[in-house]
Structure formats: structure tokens, C-alpha cells
Amino acid sequence: MAKPDIVVGLDVGSAQVVCVIAQRDPETDALNVIGGARRVCRGLKGGVVINIDETAQAVARVVEEAETMADLVGATRGVLIGVRGAHLQTFNHHGAMNIARTDKEITVEDRDQVVENTKAVPISPDREIVHVIPQDFILDRQAGVPNPVGMEASLLEVDVHIVTASQSHLNNVWKAIAKAGFQVEEPIYGLLAVGDAAVTHEEKDLGCVLVDLGGQTTGIAAYSEGAVRFTKELAIGADAITHDLSHALRTSLVEAQKIKEAHGAASRSLSTGNMEESLEYLSVDGRTLRRVKRQALIDYISPRVEELFTVVQEELENSGYGDRVSGGGVILTGGGSLLQGMTGAAEQILEMPVRPGLPQGLTGPADILGHPSYATALGLLHYRHLGEWARSRRARPQGNGLGSRLKNLIEDFF
């Protein structure tokens, strides 16, 4: 039996860095998670690097912590990178090609070529295509073909979902990772990675929406007829709740985060605690003790929760897919989903069934596999080694694109 490979997923999130290490069986592709760690990063803001040195330090420390847990200190070199942030832009596109051969049977090369043709789309010079994801293939005007290989047609068309990113923002991420001493194996849009691992095929067929509630951003992915149809990064996340509490209670962000996690809830009706209970916390000076009733605490939180999901609802309606995602409902994930009553609040505001979303198909410690904050990092491993999109590798740019530039950047740092 072949020796297991070590694979590493690094989620450069909106305000934190998360690392997961797994052993991959090269014969079965089975993934067993053996290490994980996460760390708040002040060098990141909304998924964008604002300080390369601080981000590099956070990356180095979080990988070291994950390696220590996995008993593999110093073993990591290459990492899969999850990128996020409002600088990512997505749109749907269409491509076509004629099959001019006498033999009209469509080959793998034909399929890949028609997808490649969709990259000939005008985009700003400062942007790069990160993913091209096939949605449907059309054979001689007949739509709804998931895989055309082996079938016959004179005209092969494809609908795709394209993800583009800011070159400068990506370059800053790669520089930080290279400065930390690691090589980028492959960049992956973190939201797609989570969707690949946490959303079932049945939900994608019925139509559903993934909501990934991060610290400073919220990702939305709408699925219909088995494929992703719409994605969007919103510049608002669960940290907004913490900032509201910090101002209202006149305390530090750290103290506000602690009281939110220990005693907060999305609304009074969704809280299991005593509304009259008096909660003690430290003032902004770090010494003075203050008190707040739980009901007052939750009253500070609930308007922001309502705003978060109202924005999600409006984006879905504006996307044109709002009426096509109710069958499978909402899959809610991300660290922000841990707030008590968040699932119930999403159900009330979005008026759809909501379930928590965790990556499937991996084994390992329950405190990592079952924690929403690790969902993207785990999803990266699933996407790259188990997912349908990853196996095709159609989305990876070639030549003078993103892949070549990453290699050059990393070589410059070593």
C-alpha cells in the first residue's frame, strides 16, 4: 500500500487564518485530518492583506500549531490557499465550438476546449480568472447535459460560472505566504470549496443557497439544477455584532467578543438563557467592572443579525435565483453561525428551512470537523482531492496567467 501523502489547507479568511493538515491515501483519496489550528490576524481585513509582515507571522504560527498537533513540525512546504474578499467578482458566461470532424463523437479534449474558450472574455487588465466552472453543456441546442464526452454533436456549447480576482490583492496574499516560508500549490475560492464539501448533490439539484458567515465578509452561493449559478462576497460579517457590543457596552473588542460568545443570542425568542440575568464584564479601561442584563445584551445584537440576513435575502432576490433555491433551503456555515439562535433567525428572515453546514467525507477530530470556523480549510482539501470540480482541474490558468505568476513570486522570495 502506498504511503499516505500530507496535504495542507490554509484559509486566508476575512479576519483570521485557519490551517488544516490531513493524510491522503493516494490509492483511495480518503482524507484523515490529523491537525488543525486557527488564529486571528490583524494583517487581514475583509480577506485582503493590509500588512504583509503580520499576515506572514500569523500564517507561520498557525501552520506550526497545526503541525505540532499532527506531530509533523517543519514538514509543511506546499499549501492549498483559500481566497476570499469583496475583490472577488463572479459572472456567468457562455462558450461554443463546432465539431467539424466526420467523427462527431465528443472527446475529453473537446469538452476541455469549449470550457477554455469561455476564458476569451473581456475583463479589466488588473484582474485574473481564478475559476471557470462548467454549469451545463448543450449539444446541438439540447441543454441539460452534465458531461458530453462520448456523445455526438455538431455544435458543443457550455454555460460556465467564472470567478475573477484582483491581481494586486492576490499578489499580496502570495507574498505573505511566501514570506512565511511556504509555497502555494493552488489558489481556490474558499466559498466554492465549502460548497463542494458541505452541500449535497440532492440539495444542489433541488436548488439551495449556501451562506458562509465570516468575521468581516459573508459569502453567498446559489445552486440550481446541480450547479452553482450565483456567488457573491458581501462586505459585512459577524464582527459587526462585536463592534456594536463594544460601542454599546463601552468595552474592548476582545471583551465584547467574549460576552457575545458566552451569553449572546440572535434574538430574545431564540435565547435559552434567563433574560433578567445580570452579566458582568470589564470596561474599556480593563479594570472597571460593569453589568448588563441579558435581555439588553441581546437587544444590541438582534438588529445586526436581522440586517445580515436581510442583506442576504436582498442579494438573492436581485440575483434572479431567489425563487430557485427554496427546494433545498439554506446551508449556514462559518464562524458567525455559532451564535446561539443563528439558524432560527435565518429561517425566520429568509423564510426557508436552514441547516448547519459542515464538510462531509473526511475523518478526524470532532472539534475540527464539527467547528464551522474550519469549514473553508477542510473544504479546500475536499475540493482539491475529492470534489468534482477539482478532479477536472479545468479552472487552473496556464501559461502567463495566475499559476505562472505565483511560481515566479515564490521563487523571488526563496
Please state, in angstroms and rounded to a whole number, the distance separating the CA atoms of residues 319 and 106.
33
Quote the pLDDT of residue 387.
65
Residue 336 or 26, more confident: 336
**Length of the chain in residues, anyone?**
414
Say if residue 354's pLDDT is above 80: yes
Q: How far apart are CA 335 and CA 356, in angstroms?
A: 11
Give the pLDDT score at 162. 95
Rounded Cα distance between 96 and 99, Å, is 10
What average pLDDT score do residues 179-203 get?
91
Distances 71 to 77, 305, 350 between C-alpha atoms, Å: 15, 40, 44
pLDDT in tens, 146-184: 889 999 999 999 999 999 999 999 999 999 999 999 988
Indicate if the pLDDT at residue 394 is higher than 50.
Answer: no
Q: What is the pLDDT of residue 15?
A: 81
For the stretch 61-96, pLDDT in tens is 999 999 999 999 888 888 999 998 888 999 999 999
DSSP 56-78: HHHHHHHHHHHHHHHT-TT---E
Please give the grid coordinates belonging to residue 261. Answer: 460568545
Residue 349 near residue 306 (C-beta atoms within 8 A): yes
Evaluate if residue 296 carries a pLDDT over 80: yes
* Inter-residue long-range contacts of 134-137, CB under 8 Å, 24+ positions, other chains counted: 134/158, 134/159, 134/160, 134/227, 134/392, 134/394, 135/92, 135/159, 135/160, 135/161, 135/227, 135/228, 135/229, 136/225, 136/227, 137/111
Quickly state the pLDDT bin for 398 (edges 50, 70, 90): very low
Identify the band that residue 54 occupies on the pLDDT scale cut at 50, 70 and 90: very high
Which domains are seen in the chain, by residue range?
5-86+168-192+361-413 (3.30.420.40), 89-166 (3.30.1490.110), 200-237+304-356 (3.30.420.40), 239-302 (3.90.640.10)
What span, in angstroms and rounded, lies between the C-alpha atoms of 191 and 337?
15
C-beta of residue 308 within 8 angstroms of C-beta of residue 215: no
- How high is the pLDDT of residue 3? 53
Report the C-alpha gap between 244 and 262 in whole angstroms: 16
| pLDDT reported for residue 18 | 94
pLDDT at 402 over 70: no
The pLDDT score that the predictor gives to residue 1 is 43
Bridge partners of 278, per DSSP, are 293
- Quick check: 361 pLDDT over 60? yes
**Nearest alpha-carbon partner for 131 in 89, 162, 158:** 162
- Picking from 335-344, 372-381, 403-412, which range would have the lowest pLDDT averaged per residue? 403-412
Asked whether the predicted pLDDT for residue 412 surpasses 50, the reply is no
Distance CA 390, CA 49 (A): 26
* Residue 388 banded pLDDT, cuts 50, 70, 90: low
Distance CA 56, CA 254 (A): 22
Do 312 and 350 form a contact (C-beta atoms < 8 A)? yes
**Alpha carbons 380 and 190: distance in angstroms, whole number:** 7
- Provide the 3-class DSSP secondary structure of residue 54: helix
Range scoring the smallest mean pLDDT among 45-54, 153-162, 251-260, 304-313: 45-54
Instruction: Decide if pLDDT at 222 tops 80.
Output: yes
Spatial neighbors of 138 by CB under 8 A, at least 6 apart, are 144, 145, 155, 156, 157, 158, 159
Average pLDDT rounded to a whole number, residues 23-48:
88
What the block records as the C-alpha cell of 347 is 429561517
Average pLDDT over residues 223-243: 93
The two most distant CA atoms of the chain are separated, in Å, by 83
| Percent of the residues in the chain that have a pLDDT greater than 90, as a whole number | 69
Asked if residue 396 has pLDDT above 80, the reply is: no
pLDDT in tens, 88-137: 999 999 999 999 888 999 999 999 999 999 998 999 999 999 999 999 99
pLDDT at res. 306: 96
CA distances from 338 to 45, 97, 177, 343 (A): 21, 47, 28, 9
Q: How many helices (H) and strands (E) does the chain have?
A: 13, 19
Q: What is the pLDDT of residue 215?
A: 87
- Partnered with residue 138 across adjacent β-strands are 157
Q: What is the mean pLDDT of the chain?
A: 88
> CA-based Rg of the chain, rounded to a whole angstrom?
22
